[in-house]
Amino acid sequence: MFSHSERAIYPVLLISVLIIAACGILYELLLSSISSYFMGNSILQFSLTIGLFMFFMGIGSFVSKYIKKNLFDTFINIEIILGFFGGISATGLYLTYAYTSHYYLYNFAFIAILGALIGLEIPIVARIVNKYSSFKETVAKIFSFDYIGALAASVLFPLILLPWLGVIKTAFLIGIINLIIALYNAFLFRKLLKNGIKQSLISILLIAAFGTGMFFTSEIDDSLEQKIYQDKIIFSKQTKYQKLVLTRWNDDYRLFINGSIQFSSSDEYRYHETLVHLPMLLSGSREKILILGGGDGMVVREVLKYHDVEEIQLVDLDPEMTKLATENEIFRKLNKNSFLDKRVKVFNEDAYNFIKNSSEVYSTIIIDLPDPNDTGLGKLYTKEFYEMLSGRLSATGIIVSQSTSPYFAPKAYWCIYHTFENVFGRAIPYQTNVPTFGIWGFVMAGGGVNNIITQDTVNYKQKIQEKVSYKLKNTKTLSDLRYFSAEKLPAMFFFEKDTEEVNTKINTMSTQELVYYYNKSAEKWR
């Protein structure tokens, strides 16, 4: 039996359970986020990580029944080992991705170690706590504190830890928390431990090492990221929503979001001119323009070439992205200070909610969102979202969307086309070659498109070419276009055999077929 003073340790053990549970969830979220960043397909990465984590927690819980002696020592040893592997997990995975081709193997190892240790320690703590209370009370309190800790972690990670600390510093911090738990309990239980002094010294040394690591996180992060990106990193920031990285090689600047390239300054004009000018020249009017995405300001730059545009509303979720495009000297040069124009209004909101709550009508809607690699983005390519957009488009207006590559992701591309067609009645697919990306596709629809096709169903592409040619010649502000021209339209409308239309389902909120199509293609080319 324990003395009365030892019974006072009971609440400390319960608090330890709460913190342990929080750390466990944080490790799951951390490893899932890193895998999503490196490997894409966030749904798959989170599902695999959480599933495997739970499996190995079960293994650890099963093994715990064979530990019958020295429970206090075992608990503290587990916390030290957990703190060590958890603390180095992010750095280890960065090194693995940069220097080996076996990322999944090492990721699996970290999941197995961390999951098994967490699964092992909870039953051991429960058995210690049970010495101070009945079994019924022990189970109730252990699970209550466990769930409270899990809730705290699930809120802290996306709102505070990830955007403010980033993954490497967060891993160091969680490791330190585990080690502090070990050190504090080693102090409280010092009379009951066989190796308390040794455990305390190891904990202090690791806390000092990880604390030093946190102090030099910027240097560590820069060094590791530089191994991942071929060109020199000149800007890197983890925002609340995504990781932004800007690189430079000679005069070529490239923006990466969560590891995926968004543009190269050497050829971005090919993409943006093709996306913007065909629908703008065909639209019945251009007074009010809506841009979804396009936080780099390049779409706005092209739209501002039309002097009859009276208002541009740009909706981009991440305020850090639009701030970068507004304030950064490189972006300002590329987008020609487009966000400083008085006609431009920026809304840092979710595009789906913005449209859902809007009652405004637009002459042209331009969708420049990232590729649909998860359901959060996939919902912005669904039938339901396009139906909402159709209610915001004027009778003679045109809506256009970047639609990924018909070569690298044919089913994803044609799924977007078929979903457009289902909502708007008719749609026109077109594509162009952007050297950085290869063949890239777009889809446009709306009343302006329907009017052109209805007038001449057979020769409507020739009609488009004639109309665009005439308007280009008579719009002086478009004389500086570097790529887009009416002469290129026949090639843009032509899809070769390996990019021609394929059968797909339409994309809906309930099925998210597009995300499946896209990620299946991404696996092939990764």
Q: Which of 213, 245, 262 is the last residue of a domain?
A: 262
* Spatial separation of the C-alpha atoms in residues 458 and 454, rounded to whole Å: 9
- Are 220 and 236 found together in one domain? no
Q: Above 70 in pLDDT, residue 4?
A: no
Who contacts 82 (Cβ-Cβ below 8 Å, separation ≥6)? Answer: 23, 114, 117, 118, 121, 178
Q: Residue 94 maps to which CATH number?
A: 1.20.1250
What does the pLDDT look like over 185-237, one tens digit per residue? 998 888 888 888 999 999 999 999 999 999 998 888 888 889 889 899 999 99
Three-state DSSP class for residue 407: coil
**Which of residues 247, 262, 277 is at a domain's end?**
262
Give me the pLDDT at residue 359, please.
93
For residue 391, what is the domain's CATH number?
3.40.50.150
Three-state SS at 86: helix
Give the pLDDT score at 408. 96
Question: Domain boundary at 167, 197, 225, which?
Answer: 225
Q: Is there a single domain that holds both residue 287 and residue 407?
A: yes
Q: Are residues 247 and 173 in the same domain?
A: no
Q: Which two tokens stand for residue 339?
A: 């966000």
Paired tokens of 413: 């591309």
Catalytic one among 73, 221, 316, 368? 368
28 and 103 share a domain? yes
Based on the fold, state whether residues 331 and 246 are members of the same structural domain: no
pTM of the model: 0.89
183, 285, 433, 472 from 423: Cα distances, Å: 62, 21, 27, 30
Question: Per the structure block, which two tokens stand in for 343?
Answer: 């006609």
Give the tens place of pLDDT for each residue, 116-145: 999 999 899 888 888 777 777 777 888 888
Q: Which helix (DSSP H) or strand (DSSP E) does residue 253 occupy?
A: strand 252-257
pLDDT for residue 182: 95
pLDDT tens digit string along 64-95? 999 988 898 999 999 999 999 999 999 999 99
**218 shares its domain with 256:** no
> What's the confidence (pLDDT) of residue 312?
98
SS (H, E, C) 98-159: HHCCCHHHHHHHHHHHHHHHHHHHHHHHHHHHCCCCCHHHHHHHHHHHHHHHHHHHHHHHHH
Q: How far apart are CA 83 and CA 24, in angstroms?
A: 11
The number of domains in the chain is 3
Determine contact, residues 245/258, Cβ cutoff 8 Å.
Answer: no
Residues 6+ apart with CB under 8 A from 190: 196
Whether residue 365 is found in the same domain as residue 219:
no
**In angstroms, rounded to a whole number, what is the distance separating the alpha carbons of residues 175 and 179?**
6
pLDDT of residue 2: 47
Q: What is the pLDDT of residues 415-444, one digit of tens each?
A: 999 999 999 999 999 999 999 999 999 999
Q: Which residues contact 252 (CB under 8 A, 6 or more apart)?
A: 231, 264, 265, 266
Q: 292 - beta bridge partners?
A: 315, 367
Mean of the pLDDT values across residues 168-192? 93
DSSP 8-class letter at 369:
P
Q: How far apart are CA 347 and CA 340, in angstroms?
A: 14
Same domain, 239 and 306: no
Residue 402 and residue 429 in contact, taking contact as beta carbons nearer than 8 Å: no
Question: Among positive and negative, which fits the CA dihedral 497, 498, 500, 502?
Answer: positive
Q: Which amino acid is at 236?
A: S
Q: Average per-residue pLDDT in the chain?
A: 93
27 contacts 174 by C-beta, under 8 angstroms: yes
Average pLDDT over residues 339-366: 97
Verify that 68 and 100 share a domain, yes or no. Answer: yes
Query: Can you give the residue range of the structural domain that contains 238?
Result: 229-262
For residue 122 the two structure tokens come to 């909870």
Is residue 378 located within the same domain as residue 432? yes
**280 and 258, same domain (yes or no):** no
User: Is pLDDT larger for residue 526 or for residue 434?
Assistant: 434
The reply to whether 151 and 258 lie within a common domain is no
| 231 flagged as catalytic | no
